[in-house]
Structure 1
Amino acid sequence: MRNMDKEPVDFVTVMAPTGMLGAGFPEATIERGLRLGADVISVDGGSTDSGPYYLGASQPKTTRAAVARDLRMLLKAAARADIPLIVGSCGTSGTDNGVDWVAGIVADVQAEEGLNLRVARIYSEQDAADLKEQLDAGRIHALPPAQELRPETLESCTHIVGVMGHEPIVAAIEAGAQVVLAGRATDTAIAAAVPLMKGMPAGPSWHAAKIIECGGQCTTDPRAGGVLATIDANGFSIEPLATTAACTPNLVAAHMLYETANPFRMREPDGTLDVGDATYTAVDETTVRVEGSRFHVADQHTIKLEGARITGYETMSFTGIRDPHILSAIDDWAALLRTMIKQRVEQTIGLTDDQYAFDVRLYGYNAVLGDLDPAKGAPREVGVMLLVNAPDQATATAVAKIANPLMLHLPTPDMNYLPSLAFATSPAETERGPAYEFVLHHVVDSRTPTDMFRIEFEEATRRD
């Protein structure tokens, strides 16, 4: 494989075609990245951004067709240029099922396109029993503001993953992988792996990886495609893959604000990126040069844990209000709705409010910001979402059905008629199935950077 030998190099160029596998990108941007000399293609396949369901249920957020479309172009590009393709957090949450799901798509594409790339699967799912032993040994620690971990919390999780750094990815490539399908990984590890493996300094490698983690988000036109980062001994340069977009110092620097508690420091499994002294300079109208990034190696390598468990079962209803009288007193109406639901549920099926839960959200009014919403005055129209959570689906639906007449005809106390509101769907109740919550915000003291992860290889068979 090109440039993957042990010989020293002066720089390494990483292509990040999109912020998430399956999000799509123009094919022309991939061709341009190859012409500019990409040494590796890295693409993130997942995130916790969309909530705990995808980990708890081990289901992908993206459709198979979208992932296959992206992978077809990337696999063909990697084969043609003889460079590795790295996919992180496969299947959205990086569970073992997620890795296997993406691997199945890769196998189909390889067979259809006559490719024969060697594929490594890196599994990151963790066994609760093994983690309980680590907990007993004092090797698991809470990250603020989480509390100390209890064994029963581990047992309650449907799936637990460890968030790998670059080391398992490097191990897979050094063992001959041309395609690396990683379970849960830091967004940056997939882009930093090859530069670090090829001897580039950690500061620029991790900083460049952070900037390109979301593809073209650091450009003037994020919809146009991804970016290319070139890391060397003194820093890195970054440019868009689309000729219609540009990177600017402000946009590049601003990406350190994205999903970080501290815009100057970011923890990885093996240490902390420090960009407090970094400088951002426009090389030309489209390219930015960054220097001054540092990396502080930690005394203890750690692996962050992510776990999700079922909190109950949900049923949702949604109705629309256009009545100006109700809207002029929408807070009072919502408070009355909450009170009436509790009363009717107890009268009808004998449940008290500690046996189930529900939430009333007023979309078009304050559903997003709540009490922080600065808007004043009555809204023009409001969508009322009722979300019921109960220990079983039948109970959640029963509560939503009891609330149905109230969400259709509940008047304010001063109205002498029943208003007619508008349900968005028929039937009005939509069963959402099990609901999940994240329950782990803890790290494990690693014995080695790779011992919590399993690497398996498979050889593709070329079609004649």
Structure 2
Amino acid sequence: MDTVRVLAPSGMLGAGWDHATVERGIALGADVISVDGGSTDSGPYYLGAATAKTTAKAVARDLRSLFMAAAGAGIPVVVGSCGTSGTDTGVDWVAGIAAEVLAEEGLDLKVARIYSEQDAAGLKEYLDRVHPLPPLGNLDAETLESCTHIVGAMGHEPIVEALRAGARVVLAGRATDTAVAAAYPLMMGMPAGPTWHAAKIIECGGQCTSNPRAGGVLATIDTGGFTIEPLDPASACTPISVAAHMLYETANPHRMREPDGTLDVRDAEYTAVDDRIVRVTGSKFHHAEQHTIKLEGARVTGYETMSFTAIRDPLVLAEIDTWAELMRTLITQRVGQTLGLADGEYAFDLRLYGHNAVLGELEPETGPPREVGVMLLVNAPDQATATAVAKVANPLMLHLPTPSMDYLPSFAFASSPAEVERGAAYEFVLNHVVDCAPLELFRTEFGVEGKTRA
């Protein structure tokens, strides 16, 4: 093939799109449809609990759009990081939804499921081949065993293997965002530099356009570079909007590591073909001597209970930092007095939304805020303790005056009861890569019936 056209309808399966934009991509000659099913953007909970961020109805709606378009055009569909975090349960969850959609539409498409979840016992055999990424240190067996779920972020190779085996729908576990879009062009012989660069630009669908809400994009990859075109006729790509996506989720806007090597865009040139389409040339890819797979793992850090109140009292707001410090002191004292808990047996965070909750000390605005939402987040070894701490804080969250006030103010709780139990809280504890062959950590099965279907 002289060119390969990759249709990216959106940045995430389940986010929704106008089906007309997919139809337009098909009319423009798309050779493959690729879409990401998740990422680590939304935090460790989805990996730790093996739970999807998206709802089944939204995923079904999007899969129906893709399957109908792809079946009519005779092209494959590739979905990566199924179920948000790419666990085996997530792959089987999406496969189950896919099975229902295929049956309802009377479509017979060969489905491949690629599993990327790892077990701690198996990974212990690789410890001498595991290397930490900043800021973490060396990995030990205890950390592996503490994880509820671990996944490896696959490159393009397992997806290519499934496509070569005849899959028309590939449902992959955790994969790099770019591998999902790069797999088919690389299989068809497109050069690595333009392919990986194009895959990076289209990973979030229309985010590289003038109207990210309007739909996805079509990347046309050839031997000399690639072009990017929005699927919504009213949207546009510009050299700046396309180049800017190399700033997104990268430590270095000029270089980006993949399992197979490093994308290098230092010499890339972005040229407007017209007022909607951009052509990119000069992208390079440096193949690594050693293939690596990034490991992601999450573990339970405790159980959380949240309480939220709102302050509009101008006297309290004029001394909001003093008030917050008094609140922290009194919560600690009263929890010790009533529950007998010492530091280290629980933890809490007090965040003042409307006053430095997002930027903290980096906040450039000064002066008293007009209103503040106070969020108390308690973490403890069990849910009952977390809720007990929040209940001890309840009177303070409702009526605490500043040191200069001689009366009790009243604040407004956001809910009743004020304490909202959030269940288990998780943290990422793996940020490591393991030296291995491209297919070594992954398992591919065909059909829609998974072994761990939720």
Same structural fold, with TM-score higher than 0.5 when normalized by the shorter chain: yes
The question of whether the paired residues in 1 share the 8 Å contact of 2:95 and 2:448 is answered with no
SS at match of 1:441: strand
Residue 237 (structure 2) pairs with residue 214 (structure 1): no
Aligned to 2:58: 66
Residue type of the partner of 1:338?
A: R
Verify: 1:246 aligned to 2:236, yes or no: yes
Equivalent AA in structure 1 for residue 116 of structure 2: S
Normalised TM-score (structure 2): 0.98
After superposition, residues 295-314 of structure 1 pair within 5 angstroms as 295-314=285-304
SS in 2 for 1:455: strand
Identity %: 76
Distance 1:207 1:372 in 2: 34
> Residue type of the partner of 2:440?
D
Q: Any stretches of 5+ residues in structure 1 without a counterpart? A: 1-8
Hey, what does 1:452 align to over in structure 2? Answer: 441
**Within 2, Cα distance between the matches of 1:83 and 1:322?**
57
Are 1:183 and 2:173 counterparts?
A: yes
- Cα deviation, 1:79-129, whole Å, max 9, x if unaligned, reads 110100000000000000000000001000000000010000000000100
SS in 1 for 2:306: strand
Verify: 1:16 aligned to 2:11, yes or no.
no
Alignment of 1:122-141 (within 5 A): 122-135=114-127, 138-141=128-131
Select 1:422's aligned residue among 412, 419, 432. 412
Q: Partner of 1:432: helix, strand, or coil? A: strand
2:421 maps to which of 406, 424, 431:
431
The correspondence of residues 219-234 of structure 1 with structure 2, limited to 5 A, is 219-234=209-224
CA shift, 1:133, in A, is 1.1
Instruction: Report if the CA contact (8 A) 2:260-2:292 is conserved.
Output: yes
- Equivalent residue runs for 1:139-154 within 5 Å: 139-154=129-144
Q: Aligned pair 1:333/2:328, yes or no? A: no
Between the two proteins, the alignment pairs up a number of residues equal to 449
Alignment of 1:156-171 (within 5 A): 156-171=146-161
Q: Which runs of 4+ in 1 moved over 6 A?
A: none
Q: Which secondary structure does the structure 1 equivalent of 2:253 belong to? A: coil
Aligned counterpart, 1:114: 106
8 Å CA contact 2:227–2:277 kept in 1: the answer is: yes
Q: SS where residue 409 of structure 2 aligns?
A: coil
Tell me if 1:33 matches 2:22. no
1:197 is aligned to 2:190: no
User: Are 1:407 and 2:397 matched, yes or no?
Assistant: yes
Contact 1:116 1:459 in 2 (8 A): no
CA–CA distance in 2 between the matches of 1:113 and 1:107?
10
The answer as to whether partners of 2:177 and 2:203 remain within 8 angstroms in 1 is yes
* AA partner of residue 21 (structure 1): L
* Residue identity in the other structure for 2:344: D
- Deviations along 1:408-446, one digit per CA (max 9) or x if unpaired, are 011111111111111010000000000000000000101
Q: Is the 8 A contact 2:47 2:87 kept in 1?
A: yes
What letter matches 2:446 in structure 1? F
Give me the whole-angstrom Cα distance separating, in 2, the residues matched to 1:73 and 1:420.
51
State which of 17, 39, 45 in structure 1 corresponds to 2:37.
45
Secondary structure, aligned partner of 2:198: helix
Deviation at 1:353, TM superposition (A): 1.7
Q: Distance in 1 between matches of 2:185 and 2:102?
A: 27
- Cα deviation 1:218-276 (Å, max 9, x = unaligned): 00011110000000000001100000100000000000000000000000000000000
Q: Give the Cα separation in 1 of the matches to 2:340 and 2:31.
A: 65
User: Secondary structure at the residue paired with 2:118?
Assistant: coil
From 272, 277, 280, the counterpart of 2:262: 272
Give the one of 91, 98, 111 matched to 1:99.
91
How far, CA to CA, are the matches of 1:181 and 1:354 in structure 2? 43
Cα distance, 1:451 vs. partner? 1.3
Structure 1 counterpart of 2:452: none
Structure 1 residue 354 displacement after superposition: 1.3
**2:81 is equivalent to residue 89 of structure 1:** yes
The letter of the residue matching 1:181 is L
Offset, 1:458: 1.1
The answer to whether structure 1 residue 77 and structure 2 residue 69 are counterparts is yes
| Equivalent position amino acid for 2:33 in 1 | I
Unaligned runs of 5+ in 2: 450-454
Give 3-state SS (helix, strand or coil) of 1:340's partner: helix
Normalising by structure 1, report the TM-score: 0.96
How far, CA to CA, are the matches of 1:222 and 1:144 in structure 2?
32
> In structure 2, what residue type is equivalent to 1:80?
G
Q: Deviations 1:297-317 (Å, cap 9, x if unpaired)?
A: 001000000000000000000
1:181-227 superposed Cα distances (whole Å, 9 cap, x missing partner): 00000000010001100000000000000000000000001111000
| CA positional deviation for 1:15 | 0.1
Asked if 1 retains the 8 angstrom alpha-carbon contact of 2:96 and 2:448, the reply is: no
Q: CA deviation at 1:459?
A: 6.8
Q: Which amino acid aligns with 2:439?
A: T
- The residue identity in structure 1 corresponding to 2:63 is L
Query: Separation in 2 of the partners of 1:379 and 1:274?
Result: 45
